[in-house]
A = this chain, B = another copy of it.
Amino acid sequence: MYLSHGTLTAPDAHADDIRQLLQQIAAATRQEQGCLLYLVSEQLDSPGQFIITEQWASMDDMQTHLAQPAVGEAVAAVHGMGVNDLTITAWEAGQATKVM
């Protein structure tokens, strides 16, 4: 299983556009093979700073997702709206500990 953590900051003028776009991406991606979790959220103490929280069954599934034309279009769209700090890192998940 793979865990992915992504962040991006929206320019004020495009914050609502990006809120909408992220929700569209989430709804579509949740239908994809191997997508175990895809959550889009906004930091409570930093409005306009967004988090993309993903879990994938395999790296192949994640790479298939990333190769979708819609993903490239979405990345181009956020860049076009002035987002210049989009980063996403994935980790292979080791042993899980249920904390609570």
Contacts and interface: CB of A to CB of B under 8 A. Distances in A.
Interface string A81-98: 000001111111111111
- The SS class assigned to the A binding surface is strand
B94 A94 contact: yes
A11 to B, nearest CB: 17
A22 B40 contact: no
A88 to B, nearest CB: 4
**Interface residue tally on A, bucketed by range:** 35 or more
A51 B5 CA distance: 12
A13 interface: no
B91 A94 contact: yes
Contact of A5 (B19, B23, B27, B53): B53
| Residue with the highest number of chain B CB atoms closer than 10 Å, among A4, A44, A87, A93 | A44
